[in-house]
Structures are given as C-alpha cells and as structure tokens.
Structure 1
Amino acid sequence: MYGEKCKGDSQKTTVIFLVWGWGGTQPAQVKSASDLLKFLFSTRKIWRQFLNHTVELNLSHDQPPRRRVGRDEAVIAISALRIGFAISRHLAQDGAHVVVSSRKQQNVDQALAVLQGEGLSMSGTMCHVGKAEDRDQLVATALRHSGNVDFLVCVAGVNPYVGSTLGSSEEVWDKILNVNVKAPALLLSQLLPHMENRGGSSVVLVSSIGAYLPEARLGAYNVSKAAILGLTKTLSLELAPKDIRVNCLVPGVIDTAFSKVTFEDPDFWNHLKGCHGIQRVGQPEDCSGLVSFLCSPDASYITGESIAVAGFSPHL
C-alpha cells in the first residue's frame, strides 16, 4: 500500500492497495472514503483468508517457549579483558554462570569485582591457556560450580611480534600457534566428557578479520587466525554427532589495546573506509550479542559458521 498526492491539490491523496496471495492480484485506486469501503467489502474474502492463515501460522506449531542461556548452565570464557569481558557480562546477564580467566590474576580480580558487583553469577581463575596445568585448574574451577560445562568461548590470543611473516622467529611462531590454535583444541578435548552428555552445548572460537584481510605487519598472527577458521569447520563436523555446535566469531577492528596497531594507522584505516565503507571502530559490546545468540537455543541449527562483526563483510 502506498499513497501519492494528486498534482495541484495537496489535500487529496490517491491510495493504491495491492493485494496478493490467495485471490490473485487486485490493484485498486481509492480516492474517497466510500471508495475505500467498497474496496474493503469487495476483497473481504481475501482478507478473511489472510487473517485465518495468519492465525494458523501462529497457532499450528507447538513450539517450546524461547529461552536464553539458563542459570543451570556454565560457560567458560577464556579472557577477562576487552571482548572477553563484554561477552562474559552478556552471558551472565542472560542467566549463565560464567567462569572468566586471564593469564594475570589482577585482570581476573578486576573483572570479578565489576561483574559480581552487578549481581552477576561469576567466578574466575588465573590461566595461561598455553600451559597444561593452568588449563586443568580452569576446568576444575568450572566443574566446582555445577559439575558441568555447557559452553566454551575462547577469546584469548597473543601477538608478541609486529612484523612480517618471514621475519617471525621460531619462538614467536611457537608462542602464537601454541596459544591461538593449539590451546583451544586441547582445552576442548579436556572439556568434551563434561559437554557431550549435556545436549545442545556450544563452542565459540574467535578468529580475526585478519584471517580474510591480512595486515602485513601481523604476519604470523594472521596465519594463526586463519587456522581458527579451519579448526571451526573441522570441529563442527567431528562434534555434530555429539550435539555440540562449533562456530566462530570474526571481530573486525575493535577498540581495544590489541587492535591499536590497525585503527591508529591512518593508511590502513583509510583503506578500510575507502574500499569497504566502514564507518567506525567497533566496540567490544558489538561482539557480545552474537556470542550469546550462538550459545542459545535460537542457534541450534547453526554450526561450522564463521561470522564477521566488522562493519562490513569480508566474504566474496
């Protein structure tokens, strides 16, 4: 339905109704109230069918009520800072008990002070995910709360070297791949016995827009984040029979200390604006809603996907 004022008379409006569906297509011009009544009367059967069909659509499917992440469900969020902090807050606000971690105890303490101060169900522990003994402690902390883990969100990442791929030393390669790629897989293998019998568990890995659009000075880091895309696909296939979904968050340029090397570079930023139309630097909170959705029953038919939160699409 749309209206168009008649030329030369600002007080008159021609309304054209376009009705389609069960009765075909019937255009009609309505220039007065009596024309409108005649039109509605002549098409009453179509409207009745439309309304009946709408009621059937609403009532015929016996769907369970929508629910968010529940109070009896536990989440391990690997990071107490920046994006990890925003995700932890969102999941806890949705009703989950969230276990946060960081390689520095002060980061854990600060996150818990804020989030528990908001009345959210939180616990946490120091964890360097590249160390097996720290991963053991993280799992034990999560299991102490409810004896199970329903969701794993791996946000932790490192980049100790800003420079070219071939300029990266073996030590740099080992550190980046150990934390960014190996640790999520090894941690998930430890959690698998506690997740596979829960039904509807979810894993969210975190890659980077650099996996699609590499920044030359982040060579080895880009490679590690591209590996996360492959890990997501592979794990989604392996874990589908166990009713565990695996998806990937792909943040763009987010306002964190970690990303300053990109958004404080005018050449790189102008390239994003010029080629991709990006309008602003993203905020950590821009990522949290997607993760909460991917952990919810609303995403029960989504797995193996890598979803960019970047202000533009990096895909073809």
Structure 2
Amino acid sequence: MNHKDLFDLTGKVALVTGASRGIGESVARTLAAYGAHVIVSSRKIEGCEAVASSIREHGGKAEAFACHIGEMDQIDNAWEYIESTHGKLDILVNNAATNPHFGPIETTDVSAFQKTVDVNIRGYFFMCSKAAQLMKKSGGGSIINVASVNGVSPGHFQGIYSITKASVISMTKAFAKELGQQNVRVNALLPGLTDTKFASALTTNDAIKKQALMHIPMNRMAEPDEMAGTVLYLASGASSYTTGTCINVDGGYLTM
C-alpha cells in the first residue's frame, strides 16, 4: 500500500449518527474530506440536510437521512434504505447518544433510565448488529463506537449515562472478538470533556467546568474537531490490524 493512501476513503460509504452537530458533524466532514460518501444521520432531517449540503458545497459527497436510534423501526428503515440504495456500508460511526438525567444517581427516574438505555445500549447494539450483517456480505468494514471516558471512570451526576457508556466499551470488544475473521473491525473512541451542546451541563457552569479542568492534564476542553482524526484512523486502512481497542482522546484525564 502507498503510505500516502493510508487514510484515503474514496469509494467508501459511511454512516455517521448524531451527525447534525458536535463530534458527529466534525467526523462526517472529515470522512467526506478524505473521500467517503457520508450518510449524515440524526433524529431531525433539517439538521442532517444542513450538514450534508455544506459538505457537498465544499466538494464532498453526502446525503441526509433521519434516524432516531432509540426507535427500532427507524433502525430497521435505515438499514433497508442503505442496502437498497448503496448495497453496502464500509464505515459505521455510532455517535448518537442521550443523557437526560444530570443529577444524583439515586434520583434517576424510570423514564430517564429507559431512554438512556434504549439509545446508548440497545440502539448501539442493533446498529452494530445490522452493520455487521451488511459488512460481512460485502467483504468487511469498520465500526467505530463513540463511548466516553465516563465508561471507565463514572462522571459525577452522570450515573446512568456512565453505566451505558461502560456497556458500549464491553459491546465493542464483544463484537470485535466475534467479527474479526469476517474482516469487520470494531473499535471505540472515548472522548473526554468536549465543547459541545451535548456537554453543556458541564461546559456552561463555571464552577463545574473549573472542577473538571483540574482533572485534565492539558487543562482545557477539547474541540469537536479534535475527535475526528482518531475516527479517521479507525475508519481507514491505517488501522487495518486494529480491532477491539478503545482509544482515549481526553487530554490525559484517565491518567490522573
């Protein structure tokens, strides 16, 4: 392989969930910049189309597709569409997630618990499962699950979210172990504190933010674009012998 082509994604089809903003948007733009045809997905089609249109305006290949991964019928519809339209999927970035409860773990109500589990565990699991089935048919592919450092060290007042992200880490390893011989690689990105709307409960409260930065050796939050390079590596031929791994992109947080 020409080493200059290690990150070339020309001809690849990629699905990025939660791609209308934040980390997902940055990942979608990066994969498109390296040649992939990107299916930009999230719950609302308007946000997806805004990102997809911008990618196309900058010379990339992208389309919008609405899918709420907390709803099984929408997951089924998404995969039926992908297989009938593209016939394959080379890259899945499982990024969509939810965190409706920010507060003491013992006050988590059933509704918040169920919503978090439905999206962050059930949704990720069946997106991986559907991707694996399609990728096996077409010779392989790469699945990247966006977990969190909270899956390793639970976040304060983020109990059920942290529990589901720990599940994503275990899920990543389980899928990787069973799919390795089918040339389907499964890895995880573990972001640290990142300046996104999703993390606004942490980033917009000065006291909480100051406390959080004390535990980050680099003493700052990440920008969403700082997550995209790791996903590009895991999606591309540069990581052809990498599966079942979880990469921390956290400014050193987990070293503390």
TM over 0.5: yes
Judge conservation of contact 2:94–2:127 (CA < 8 Å) in 1: no
Superposed, 1:235-246 pairs within 5 Å as 235-246=175-186
Q: Paired residue for 2:11, among 59, 66, 72?
A: 72
Q: Per-residue displacement from partner, 1:93-134 (whole Å, max 9, x unpaired)?
A: 111111111111221121122112112111121111111221
Q: 1:293 to 1:203 in 2, by over 3 A?
A: same
Deviation at 1:225, TM superposition (A): 0.8
AA aligned to 1:239 is: L
**Bigger RCO of structures 1 and 2 (CA < 8 A, at least 6 apart):** 2
Aligned-pair identity in percent equals 27
CA distance in 2, matches of 1:85, 1:140: 23
Q: Paired residue for 2:223, among 283, 290, 295?
A: 283
Q: Per-residue displacement from partner, 1:256-298 (whole Å, max 9, x unpaired)?
A: 0111222334444334443442322111100111101101111
Deviation at 1:70, TM superposition (A): 2.9
CA distance in 1, matches of 2:198, 2:99: 9
Q: CA RMSD in A?
A: 1.8
Deviation at 1:313, TM superposition (A): 4.5
Q: Report the number of matched residues.
A: 253
Gaps of 5+ in 2: none
The answer on 1:138 being equivalent to 2:75 is no
Corresponding residue of 1:49: none
Corresponding residue of 1:162: 102
Deviation at 1:136, TM superposition (A): 2.3
Judge conservation of contact 2:192–2:253 (CA < 8 Å) in 1: no
Q: SS state of the match for residue 198, structure 2?
A: helix
Judge conservation of contact 2:132–2:184 (CA < 8 Å) in 1: no
CA distance in 1, matches of 2:213, 2:103: 23
CA distance in 2, matches of 1:184, 1:69: 26
Judge conservation of contact 1:208–1:252 (CA < 8 Å) in 2: yes
Q: Per-residue displacement from partner, 1:222-262 (whole Å, max 9, x unpaired)?
A: 11111111111111101112111111001111110111222
Deviation at 1:194, TM superposition (A): 1.7
Q: 1:143 to 1:162 in 2, by over 3 A?
A: same
Q: SS state of the match for residue 76, structure 1?
A: strand
Gaps of 5+ in 1: 1-63
TM-score (norm 1): 0.75
Judge conservation of contact 1:127–1:138 (CA < 8 Å) in 2: yes
Q: Paired residue for 1:225, among 165, 180, 201?
A: 165
Corresponding residue of 2:214: 274
Q: SS state of the match for residue 117, structure 2?
A: helix
Judge conservation of contact 2:45–2:64 (CA < 8 Å) in 1: no
Q: 1:142 to 1:315 in 2, by over 3 A?
A: farther
Corresponding residue of 1:296: 236
